[in-house]
Structure 1
Amino acid sequence: MAQTVRLKDWDKSSPGISEISSRLRFSFETGQIWLDEERMMLMHSSALTVLRKELIDTLGIERTRGILTRIGYAAGLRDAEMVKASYKDLSDLELLHKGPLLHALEGMVKVELKDVEIDIKNGRYHIDAIWRNSLEHQIHQGLFGPSHYPIAWNELGHATGYVSGIMNRFILHKQVEITPLGPRFVGKPIEEWDEVADELKYYQSDSIVEHLLTLQDQVEDLRKSLPQPILPSDVIGDSPRFQEAWSLAKKASSSTVTVLLLGETGVGKDVFANAIHNSSPRANQSFVAVNCGALPNDLIESELFGIEKGAYTGAQTSREGRFERADGGTLFLDEVGELSLKAQTRLLRALQSGEIDRLGGTETRRVNVRVIAATNVDLAEAVAQGTFRKDLYYRLNVFPVSIPPLRERKDDILALAERFIDKFSAREGLRIKGLTDKAIHALQSHDWPGNIRELENVIERGIILASQDSFIDASMLFPPSYTTLLEENITVLDRQGKISETVKQPINDFVTELLDKKVPLEELENLVVKAAIERCEGNLCATARLLGISRAQIGYKYKKIFNETISK
């Protein structure tokens, strides 16, 4: 049964004020503000005043109201997603209360409740409240004077978006009057309103915008109809060094020249090799790949050149090798620097003459194969050390293409991540909304020693941990130790809402100091538990959520600390 809650009950939800404000982080070194996983920004109210006036002067009242309402709605939905991801097992009232707290933290308005009823499971909701200290109301009245029609457009959109997000159904909020304290608004399910058409139009896309998007699509279709070089879809990157490498590869694709792809492990040499083949006149022929480093030395020759029956013990049938299978197409030799000297000799002959002999055979076979080789080994150094033939090196190094590591093309990380999200979400049957701002920050801050392969693995991990219709946050991509290090030199709000002047110590230095001082583990745990209880103002449920443990565990620890304090 739904519970009607009065003002005194609403106030009981307020112990979370200190806890939710502590989620705001300021990084002065990087110029970033974070609210959980979302990047935020501070903006002058005078700038918002100019923006509102420009929009109204340019688009008129109605279109401006629609734009600001939809912006508020999107922000409300995002706040709801953040709350549902960060707080588990909250009561319906506590879940609802987080929305006004976030809106207050964001500096928009203070909600003063008159009446509320909420029952998420049964879809019941009603609120009657007043927006006090409404920034939007203040700005509009400053521009146009007192008004009797609704002017808190962004706040209406936010309320509708947030409550719709936690209720999992559309809940419409309307401004019903202007009181001496501020705008009064009422919210309830859409079917309980008598007239909604005039309000719903503000939540729908603007016809002008739709027309512009249609024109944009038409222009894009015209562009696609123009002849242009084919860029294989898996080759992603706009950074200068990457485009330079791909430009060289495209030039090589139209010829039969041997290409040597250079780069660290995981940079995408196999993708480049496929792309060169698919852009070449041989695209309709076979593309055969072999990892020279993954095969034992006694098998690599038979894999490359084939065998005849009886060539060695166990060779009961004749079998063609990779060169024959790639005849007319492309052979990709990955990790070519791992080949034995004997295999290098036979490879050199095949490259120079286009002829091969199967192991144990007497018949010479001609093959028409375009070779693309790849290595993360410095072949010039290998030649100097005598582990790689000099003549083969010169034969392979006709057209070298150096692929940059991911740490040198960080502008491409998001595009690559989006491609992997599409790939793995389709495989897992999930709808993923994207990456949180904190997750994007984590991806761009990482050095990526494993390059694109590591990025692909990280995104796959995130997809597996994500839920349907959710965002991937930083904790799903990296272990907690890494995401903690990202918050070095972060300042927070104290209880009075002031920015703390102490800069957060790097976690490694903090641990070193504790070890140097020989702080007992039990004492350290008690210190953390006490601080968490104090931050949550005695709310043990909130403390348990903050520490990531159960309510029973925090109750036990609290009782233990309390008894120790009494005994002293």
Structure 2
Amino acid sequence: MSLKYPPDSDLRRLLRFETDSGAIWLGDRRMVLMHTNALAALRQDLVSSVGPEHARRILTRMGYASGLSDAEYAKKTRPGESMQDSFMVGPQLHMLEGAARVTPVKLSFDIQAGQFYGDFRWDHSWEAYAHRQKFGLVDDPSCWTLMGYASGYTSAFMGRLILFKETLCAACGADHCQIIGRPIEEWPDGEAHRVYFTDDSLVEKMEALQSQVDALKSQVEPASQGGQLIGNSTAFRKAYSLMQKVAQTQATVLLTGETGVGKERFARALHELSSRASGPFVAVNCAALPAELIEAELFGVEKGAYTGAHAARAGRFERADGGTLLLDEVGEMPLAAQAKLLRVLQEGEIERVGGEATRKVNVRLVAATNVDLEQAVQAGRFRRDLMYRLNVYPICIPPLRERKTDIEHLAQGMLARFCALHSKRILGFEERALQALLQHDWPGNVRELENLVERGVILASQSGKVEVEHLFPNQPETAQTSLDAHGHLARLPTAQDDDLSARILDSGSSLEEVEARVLDQAVVRARGNLSEAARMLGLTRPQLAYRQKQRQDRSGAAPAPDLHREGGAL
């Protein structure tokens, strides 16, 4: 088959530079530019600390992971094109990423039959250069990362492990590198190389440490009916530690924090860590109940207590007997109900509405609020004596913006839950989506994150990934640049640019008229300073002068003033 590369403009558009966020993107994958001397220093440190064999394994697996990632673009970037053009995405991306100049020498493959043979030449391999920089000429091929990339990309493309081996290497003194790839079974020593694509044995040496990490993780992620509490940030661990210390006591707990931080989930976790875990957990939202019904809901009703009370009914306190009662939004409770609640806390007994007998209740009370109770007391909306009773053991749950390191773990847990709920198979979040989650301010906290993840699961394609557009469909575009055909940075058009272009076309003005207006406006804004006007337009001063002269020649107007004089004005 012909080994000519297809045009790479489609791939260059994948590479975007966001000046506002400081991120570089290849499609939805975040990239980074690094100095080759820094990579060479890392390579040297790896070889000296773990030895060349382990260093090779680590670097090969790093390249392998990169190749697997790029392979995702191979078939979706060029739909409808030939399989060869789709496969060439890999070598072309490898060149775009600065790995080496890749020249295909021979390529034949049949995906269904599992047959592959590839022969490629690498010129200017960064890795051969980096290795020679630190170790001089060596005897064995050393482009480990690049080799891992070729194997990872081709293996993902073919659906089976394809092993590439370096037959020539510039680190050994050759003027270029040469690689050949075949299915691993077709290499006589293929099994000896399989170790470079499996879990590193260094991980096995860290099993003891990993078990400790898992133990710590299980301590900060207790299972509960409301789902797991997930978090490892400093702010979260502080709140969780306070909860652990009070769980086995009978003390009243006051959970404070903004709306949506997960106060009910903390209350459920507190209940399940307590000695009352086998008893009921009852939650009531005080703000959602009408003032005239809240007493009946909390303390129960006797038959005939009021019109419509056709039967006696137990209240939330009685239903929570032997367990835990959560009074959510307790700061919104009416003053009359506050007085009765204070008596229950003092005496440990309730009296149903319309009843005369008292009933003993054994309830552990947890209150939650997003308002400042001290300010509510000052405003006369909350009883001071009740505040003191509730504020025995306060726990402030941090807002999501103060626990950024927990966002990805929370989102992944929610993703799994909503995939099961909506019967969808989603492979995770694209990196741009994760970055957008990390950069969001989260005024709605964990509840807002939960809503966004559920929406992302619904909008994402089956067996696809959640993309940033699924989470934030109205997110404004950021300024981005990409590479033009000459390798120069060029600004990418945005939706606003498209709108501007549409308005210009709809105006009926000719291109010459539009150019004339833009040039004149730039000169006006620069107050006649042509050098400044040229900078606004992205031109040099002579280029601006040339365009002005062309206009005058076309219109037959009088000669323009000397535009080459610095600071000249019209």
TM-score norm. by structure 2 comes to: 0.77
Greater Rg by CA: 2
SS in 1 for 2:443: coil
CA distance in 2 between counterparts of 1:213 and 1:469 reads 33
CA distance in 2 between counterparts of 1:522 and 1:120 reads 53
Cα contact 1:130–1:181 (8 A) shared by 2: no
Unaligned 5+ segments in structure 2 are 512-570
Q: What residue in structure 2 maps to residue 138 of structure 1?
A: 129
Counterpart amino acid of residue 408 in structure 1: E
CA distance in 1 between counterparts of 2:505 and 2:156 reads 45
Q: What residue in structure 1 maps to residue 331 of structure 2?
A: 337
- Which of 435, 439, 442 is the aligned partner of 1:445? 439
For residues 324 and 131 of structure 1, do their structure 2 counterparts lie closer, same or farther at Cα, with a shift above 3 Å needed?
A: same
* Structure with greater contact order relative to length (CA < 8 Å, sep ≥ 6): 1
Question: Quick check: 1:493 aligned with 2:489?
Answer: no
- Which of 448, 467, 486 is the aligned partner of 1:454? 448
CA distance in 2 between counterparts of 1:218 and 1:241 reads 24
Counterpart amino acid of residue 205 in structure 2: L
- Which of 246, 261, 266 is the aligned partner of 1:272? 266
For residues 163 and 252 of structure 1, do their structure 2 counterparts lie closer, same or farther at Cα, with a shift above 3 Å needed?
A: same
SS in 1 for 2:231: coil
Cα contact 1:242–1:403 (8 A) shared by 2: yes
CA distance in 2 between counterparts of 1:506 and 1:264 reads 36
For residues 52 and 251 of structure 1, do their structure 2 counterparts lie closer, same or farther at Cα, with a shift above 3 Å needed?
A: closer
Q: CA deviation at 1:320?
A: 1.4
Counterpart amino acid of residue 40 in structure 2: T
Q: What residue in structure 1 maps to residue 536 of structure 2?
A: none
Counterpart amino acid of residue 69 in structure 2: R
Q: After superposition, give the CA deviation of every residue in 1:27-51 in whole Å (9 maximum; x if it has no partner).
A: 4554432222222222222222333
For residues 420 and 261 of structure 1, do their structure 2 counterparts lie closer, same or farther at Cα, with a shift above 3 Å needed?
A: same
- Which of 205, 222, 229 is the aligned partner of 1:232? 222
Q: CA deviation at 1:440?
A: 2.4
- Which of 209, 217, 228 is the aligned partner of 1:216? 209
For residues 188 and 475 of structure 1, do their structure 2 counterparts lie closer, same or farther at Cα, with a shift above 3 Å needed?
A: farther
For residues 59 and 346 of structure 1, do their structure 2 counterparts lie closer, same or farther at Cα, with a shift above 3 Å needed?
A: closer
Structural RMSD (CA): 3.6
Alignment of 1:364-383 (within 5 A): 364-383=358-377
Question: Quick check: 1:41 aligned with 2:41?
Answer: no
For residues 309 and 36 of structure 1, do their structure 2 counterparts lie closer, same or farther at Cα, with a shift above 3 Å needed?
A: same
SS in 1 for 2:149: helix
Identity of aligned residues (%): 46
Cα contact 1:230–1:279 (8 A) shared by 2: no
Q: What residue in structure 2 maps to residue 546 of structure 1?
A: none
Question: Quick check: 1:94 aligned with 2:85?
Answer: yes
Q: What residue in structure 1 maps to residue 472 of structure 2?
A: 478
For residues 334 and 491 of structure 1, do their structure 2 counterparts lie closer, same or farther at Cα, with a shift above 3 Å needed?
A: same
CA distance in 2 between counterparts of 1:520 and 1:353 reads 79
Q: What residue in structure 2 maps to residue 68 of structure 1?
A: 59
CA distance in 1 between counterparts of 2:505 and 2:307 reads 66
CA distance in 2 between counterparts of 1:204 and 1:124 reads 22
For residues 81 and 277 of structure 1, do their structure 2 counterparts lie closer, same or farther at Cα, with a shift above 3 Å needed?
A: same
Q: CA deviation at 1:230?
A: 7.8
Q: What residue in structure 2 maps to residue 545 of structure 1?
A: none
Cα contact 1:148–1:178 (8 A) shared by 2: no
Q: CA deviation at 1:313?
A: 4.3
CA distance in 2 between counterparts of 1:149 and 1:469 reads 42
Unaligned 5+ segments in structure 1 are 527-568
Counterpart amino acid of residue 97 in structure 2: E
Count of residue pairs the alignment pairs up: 503
For residues 351 and 121 of structure 1, do their structure 2 counterparts lie closer, same or farther at Cα, with a shift above 3 Å needed?
A: same
CA distance in 2 between counterparts of 1:444 and 1:325 reads 41
- Which of 52, 64, 80 is the aligned partner of 2:71? 80
CA distance in 1 between counterparts of 2:129 and 2:436 reads 38
Cα contact 2:425–2:462 (8 A) shared by 1: yes
